[in-house]
Structure 1
């Protein structure tokens, strides 16, 4: 993604030399607004990505600048998914805003996946995404040498086969398919890898006299069983809590090759059998990772908690060096908390009180993590649900404290905040309507005298009495606005915080890396550098919000492919209906897999969130779609 275009949306003071031509092109279309100090895209124009529903010939524009709704594209188009475009807003009275395409700025995804099919006795390569024939010039003789359902990497611009990927029925190809469809790459450039390899693996604390050496303190990390990138570590001496975070910003200079790659990725991507990191392995799993017994550069919050108020009474942020004494798993550390005589049990007592106080203003949801376990053939072997442990809660509260203190420091300067808007009254009333199935005693009523948060508490209490907390909490979450990144603080509704940021995961989130850079310049009293970083924050947040949604969709599509292989025709499943308009959609309980149900049942007006039994009638790996019928 071009940072220049992102900055132009919000206003830019000078045009880089290598961007003068594209600026002139936009100016010739009368798309640029001139002010005394900056150049800015006019409000009637939009820059954004295309979201194509190609089999229905529908195209929507997702603006880079935050928007409540996507724009429907009018007129005939020759667009591809994820194209970056300039569009003009059209005035209309409909709820759905509309726009017309002015110019394709960048073909974001020039590659696609083809599948070999037999159509009217001829072999054709079809687009796996939408089933359309790709008009590639290739002989029938060449295609005859390959089996049906063979997959190809296709250059969609030049209509050429780039690679033969393997077979659709090979589950190992599922990851490659979703990565190509979303224009993601796994490997890093040689330039980036060479830069990372220039760092020494052995870290001598004497080379860093300006850092506070805490290698004598027995820090510990607590992470999932399969973790390799250890972002954070804790130490508690009975009075002070130290939250140490990997100092990624030391290794990733602004505007360097590695910084540009990290910005383009935005986040690490997590799959059941693999992590595709934001940073190369040598950093994410080694030099930056807080590994047991290794000296590591860290950015550290030293916190003192007031025992009466359970609030942070003293805080100090500094650059340091630590040595983790032990990398624990959550399960291992949960056993340690059973010993009431150690200092971490004392810390757990404190964080439990902090959590109790926090939930007076925030929301708490029944949260079971669904985990897919794959076998050696990359197919689902097991689906498990894992409940949160005391050790999870301890780590969570410590990270929240560090993130909250970071946000407080940013407030006086500039920063990236993690914000979460309140649910509005209209959506809350709709939520009450959809949860009417809980109403056995006439208690499901929206109460204007209560706060929005207290109305949600009331719903949760009713659900708890009926042993439906997990289902109802998932329904509530669908009605809440999504949390997002913003340079403007507006608080975090779900957490109940007036100010919140992301500080604790710079190995896997670009937002945290930027926050680290700003906080360091604050400590160094470098206002000039703070201002320089601050100029780009709106553009960075817009990009990260886009990437976060895109990666969430990618991970969902990957799971859909795995579920389409796992569930078989004839399987009878417990499901919860999630949509009844146009078609019936449901989620399979225990896995959250999506299933599309027989439309003939629409006439029976099934209520959303009804629990039903469904029988699988089709499980299509090519379309990643499971279909079924409701058992009456």
Structure 2
């Protein structure tokens, strides 16, 4: 067999998709020489191009000889499809790339058939597929190979031109603008949010594109979050088949369930919560061998009863991975019929649940636990603030019987749980969460920092203990599961952190012995000092990112040996998997983990980890855009800020009052030449030796705000200050760093909440 050419740096622009697009767009310039010229292919890279063309010919995608290539046949049997939509049954639909309507007729849309053993494709992917135009149910395609998981389409705002056509205004800072011809608008109106298909045709000026899809008008109240949904390819419209399946669901029965409806479980949630997936109860342990101990019960909505493996509801939930939270809306993982109705633990209504009863001693150490599949009835729906007020003796509307019979025992149990937490010493970062409050029109009204109450901490600790119990039970039963894994910081990050702390004369233990308690000691040492904010920020950046995994590596941040998400199955697919695993392992009846799902846990963990990161990025981008839109009319105003990022290009400054960042290019900092000191997270003036450091409080002026891109640019008003001596290696080596290029994309501070631990 002949040896095939391997991709090189010179062939990185070559792909099946790119070659097919060029042939489609340039029917008169489609020789091998034209292709080589268009893609800058020279020397040995021509062999790679030759092999690529041979593959496309062998698969029937193109036809022709050395003189000219063209897309094959009137009715091609193999083509590249871009998956852009789903049908009413939830099936994927693909559009052929480079379809010539003059030769082949109107562009068909193919229903994709995927086998379990074949490549798994999704919205936004490009695939090589076998086409069947004669199928009884209409055009269908069988996926042969996954070509690209990233769609080439860009998102932007259509701005019409007087003579027809228009241009695309980008919604992200790094995006290009595109010119749109009069015949390529697809009916887009001025101000519409659209997806644009770039073209390889070029001319002087802006690149050319065509409108592929009209998303909606930017005049809508939800325009900002709509941008994030489409920019990050987040599914947000339930297929009709999924909604129909949810509507057919009925109330759960008592089969294989214990009747716990008389137990006074209560829900404690945010005041505006629409779904309630966890309820709690506590009482003193009457066992004489456990003096001062408590029995804590956590009941979680039994989503596994309603969402079964291999159903359309399950496929959609897995595709979404989790609910996504924006200031103006929630994009749920499950339809409202399931999330807000059948599975929501409503007050006074019978609801199925999985419950864990845990016994703790007087020091907060768990002695044992046991899971049950139950039917429960919430005895009260409480907001955090109301529960706290009742305990504090502040007048409120909570029934006195609930206060004395439920809340006081819960708070007594929390006092012991807190002792156990203090002994365990999880990582204790002080990072306040900010919440954007919108007015009736969807505009930013104000940004608040919600008060952190004992009621929040009580629920959080109960959920953590329930999650630990789930992992322990499944391990003891040798049942496969998905863990919430959080690895220890890497050696490289620890060395960087150690170098930084050395500039503050703060010691850090050798990396081999590091535990969260070591970081807590550092954080305690800088408490209420000028370095508190800075050190919290740097310690946070040194940590690894939590993810889902079928392999147990423990949870470093919580200082736990094993940990699994169990407590939020309405909004996280990982929790649903753990519920199913418990049903299977404990013989609880229907709705358990199937053998096929168990075999695919590694792939599932990877998919939902990516979905979580996708959701966090979309939420962060939406905050950026909302704040930029809110401040766009305040150009020239001065603000108090804090340096939240230091790069070679300049400084990111966060406005604490709003929770969003703006950028200060290094070239605007003054007449001095600034060096980037990576170890000290600072910019240092070459002549003055004064500068700016991560965590510094500064005053800035807003000079530019681009709402659609979610970016702001500031001017520094605070003079540089004297900085502690650092290991500034660039001074010793006599090197001057290259002038920075374009500023990186702005990032807003990520919100933390108990649901994501």
State the shift of 1:218 in Å: 1.6
Q: Is residue 329 of structure 1 aligned with residue 383 of structure 2?
A: yes
Q: Is the 8 A contact 1:617 1:627 kept in 2?
A: yes
Q: Is residue 539 of structure 1 aligned with residue 609 of structure 2?
A: no
Q: Is the 8 A contact 1:369 1:387 kept in 2?
A: no
Matches within 5 A, 1:501-520: 501-520=564-583
Matches within 5 A, 1:364-443: 364-411=428-475, 412-434=478-500, 439=504, 442=505
Q: Which residue of 1 aligns with 2:245?
A: 195
* Change in 2 beyond 3 A, CA 1:600/1:170: farther
Q: Which residue of 2 aligns with 1:105?
A: 147
* Change in 2 beyond 3 A, CA 1:579/1:119: farther
Output the CA distance in 1 between the equivalents of 2:248 and 2:145. 42
Q: Is the 8 A contact 2:487 2:546 kept in 1?
A: yes
Q: Is residue 617 of structure 1 aligned with residue 617 of structure 2?
A: no
Q: Is the 8 A contact 1:434 1:609 kept in 2?
A: no
Q: Which of 529, 539, 542 pairs up with 1:476?
A: 539
Output the CA distance in 1 between the equivalents of 2:556 and 2:224. 37
State the shift of 1:385 in Å: 0.4
* Change in 2 beyond 3 A, CA 1:190/1:326: same
Q: Is the 8 A contact 2:126 2:151 kept in 1?
A: no
Q: Is residue 316 of structure 1 aligned with residue 370 of structure 2?
A: yes
**Secondary structure of 1:458's partner?**
helix
Q: Is the 8 A contact 1:487 1:538 kept in 2?
A: yes
Matches within 5 A, 1:224-623: 224-239=270-285, 240-307=295-362, 309-338=363-392, 342-361=405-424, 362-411=426-475, 412-434=478-500, 439=504, 442=505, 444-448=506-510, 451-466=514-529, 469=532, 472-524=535-587, 531-567=595-631, 568-573=634-639, 574-601=641-668, 603-604=673-674, 605=683, 606-623=692-709
**Secondary structure of 1:595's partner?**
strand
Q: Is the 8 A contact 2:643 2:651 kept in 1?
A: no
State the shift of 1:587 in Å: 2.0
State the shift of 1:131 in Å: 3.0
* Superposition CA RMSD, Å: 3.3
* Change in 2 beyond 3 A, CA 1:132/1:300: same
Q: Is the 8 A contact 1:112 1:127 kept in 2?
A: no
Q: Which residue of 2 aligns with 1:215?
A: 261
* Change in 2 beyond 3 A, CA 1:467/1:348: farther
**Secondary structure of 1:617's partner?**
strand
Structure 2, gaps ≥5 residues long = 1-54, 60-122, 129-143, 200-208, 286-294, 394-402, 675-682, 684-691, 720-757
Output the CA distance in 1 between the equivalents of 2:260 and 2:517. 44
* Change in 2 beyond 3 A, CA 1:279/1:589: same
Output the CA distance in 2 between the equivalents of 1:127 and 1:285. 38
User: What is the total number of aligned residue pairs between the two structures?
Assistant: 529
Q: Please identify the structure whose Cα radius of gyration is greater.
A: 2
Q: Is the 8 A contact 1:423 1:452 kept in 2?
A: no
Output the CA distance in 2 between the equivalents of 1:433 and 1:616. 34
Q: Is the 8 A contact 1:114 1:125 kept in 2?
A: no
Q: Is the 8 A contact 2:266 2:380 kept in 1?
A: yes
Output the CA distance in 2 between the equivalents of 1:359 and 1:506. 28
Q: Is the 8 A contact 2:583 2:593 kept in 1?
A: no
State the shift of 1:579 in Å: 2.0
Q: Is the 8 A contact 1:583 1:597 kept in 2?
A: yes
* Change in 2 beyond 3 A, CA 1:436/1:616: farther
Q: Please, which moves more after superposition, 365-374 or 252-261? A: 365-374
**Secondary structure of 2:576's partner?**
helix
Q: Which residue of 1 aligns with 2:137?
A: none
Q: Which of 623, 626, 629 pairs up with 2:712?
A: 626
**Secondary structure of 1:163's partner?**
strand
State the shift of 1:614 in Å: 1.4
Q: Is residue 176 of structure 1 aligned with residue 218 of structure 2?
A: no
Q: Which residue of 2 aligns with 1:54?
A: none
Q: For residues 93-151 of structure 1, give each alpha carbon's deviation from its aligned partner in whole angstroms, at most 9, with x where no partner exists.
A: xxxxxxxxx975356547653423478998523262413315455289988xx54x443
Output the CA distance in 2 between the equivalents of 1:266 and 1:314. 32
Q: Is residue 151 of structure 1 aligned with residue 193 of structure 2?
A: yes
Q: Please, which moves more after superposition, 105-114 or 495-504? A: 105-114
Instruction: With a CA cutoff of 8 Å and minimum separation of 6, indicate the structure with the bigger relative contact order.
Output: 1
Q: Is the 8 A contact 2:165 2:183 kept in 1?
A: no
Q: Which residue of 1 aligns with 2:39?
A: none
**Secondary structure of 1:313's partner?**
strand
Output the CA distance in 2 between the equivalents of 1:183 and 1:127. 19
Q: Please, which moves more after superposition, 421-430 or 311-320? A: 421-430
Q: Is the 8 A contact 1:503 1:515 kept in 2?
A: yes
TM-score norm. by structure 1 comes to 0.76
State the shift of 1:198 in Å: 1.1
Output the CA distance in 2 between the equivalents of 1:400 and 1:582. 41
Output the CA distance in 2 between the equivalents of 1:395 and 1:455. 26
Q: Which residue of 1 aligns with 2:90?
A: none
Q: Is the 8 A contact 1:522 1:530 kept in 2?
A: no
State the shift of 1:368 in Å: 2.1
Output the CA distance in 2 between the equivalents of 1:576 and 1:85. 44
Q: Please, which moves more after superposition, 472-481 or 532-541? A: 472-481
Q: Please, which moves more after superposition, 517-526 or 612-621? A: 517-526
* Change in 2 beyond 3 A, CA 1:178/1:251: same
Q: Is the 8 A contact 1:112 1:180 kept in 2?
A: no
Q: Please, which moves more after superposition, 171-180 or 460-469? A: 460-469
Q: Which residue of 1 aligns with 2:157?
A: 115
Q: Please, which moves more after superposition, 582-591 or 269-278? A: 582-591
Q: Is the 8 A contact 2:644 2:694 kept in 1?
A: yes
Q: Is the 8 A contact 1:108 1:183 kept in 2?
A: no
Structure 1, gaps ≥5 residues long = 1-24, 30-80, 87-101
State the shift of 1:367 in Å: 3.9
TM-score norm. by structure 2 comes to 0.64
